Amino acid sequence: MTNLFSSFDPSTSTHLSLNWLSIIIGLLIMPISYWLIPSRFLFSWINILITLHKEFKILMGSSNGSTLIFISLFTFILFNNILGLFPYIFTGTSHLLFTLTLALPLWLSFMLFGWINNTLHMFAHLVPQGTPPVLMAFMVCIETTSNIIRPGTLAVRLAANMIAGHLILTLLGNTGSMLSIKLMPILIIVQILLLVLELAVAIIQSYVFAVLSTLYSSEVI
């Protein structure tokens, strides 16, 4: 069990949580030419960001808020998700400490902004349109509870998805020493397919986190 969860341990042999440096250390290995010299990859990434900007702008409605924070959030989570797929690299997004640090301040700032500037609008959100008068008190309790657990659901969704995929890859990899040579090609093919699936999950989860954060911000305006 220790070996199974060792990749999620933030502490090193010096008993310091130096593994958290993997969150930003990837920027150090990125060549400077990436930022200075235009390339096909850079143009493709710019097109992706422009598409996200247009989509987030639609989700935010008629608000004057900038989509830059949500695009940056998507990029940051995607960078850490994909970096965590490499061997012997600590996956920061698999820890609730990391995901809650992203979700909780965003949700708290949205709530403070909404209740201070749009108090009547926030009260109106507690009772959905068309609710019978008898159920209004019950609906207020449900809506309040669902609003409070939003940062928790955001954080748990991202962390659980990243942990699950890594654990499956680790469990299958540990069975390699016990298999015969004839079954090894099957195991390698399954591992490659799971790695492709994990790559898709890394992209989808970062997108879901950013989109849900955008939707939560649009509700308070």
Tens of pLDDT, residue by residue over 135-158, are 778 888 888 888 889 999 999 999
CA 137 to chain centre: 34
- The tokens for 132 are 């019978």
- The tokens for 150 are 């939003």
In angstroms, the CA 153 to CA 158 distance is: 9
pLDDT score for 13: 59
Which of 129 and 157 is assigned the larger pLDDT?
Answer: 157
- The tokens for 15 are 């008993």
Max CA-CA distance within the chain? Answer: 69
Q: How confident is the model at residue 8 (pLDDT cuts 50, 70, 90)?
A: low
Q: Is the torsion defined by CA of 156, 159, 162, 166 positive or negative?
A: negative
Give residue limits of the domains in the chain.
Answer: 6-218
In angstroms, the CA 18 to CA 90 distance is: 10
Task: Please tell me which of 41-45, 64-68, 89-93, 109-113 the model is most confident about, judged by mean pLDDT.
Answer: 109-113
pLDDT score for 200: 94
Radius of gyration, alpha carbons of the chain: 21
Task: Kindly report the backbone phi and psi dihedral angles of residue 15, in degrees, each rounded to the nearest multiple of 5, phi listed first.
Answer: 60, 25
Distances (CA, A) of 82 to 25, 117, 125, 143, 199: 13, 38, 37, 35, 7
Q: Which residue is listed with tokens 């069990």?
A: 1
Q: Is the pLDDT of residue 120 over 50?
A: yes
142-151 per-residue burial string, b: 16 or more CB within 10 A, e: under 16: eeeeebeebb
- With a pLDDT cut of 70, the percent of the chain lying above it is 87
- The tokens for 135 are 């159920």
- Terminal Cα-to-Cα distance of the chain (whole angstroms): 47
How many other C-beta atoms can be found within 10 angstroms of the C-beta atom of residue 221? Answer: 16
**Average pLDDT of the residues in 158-173:** 86
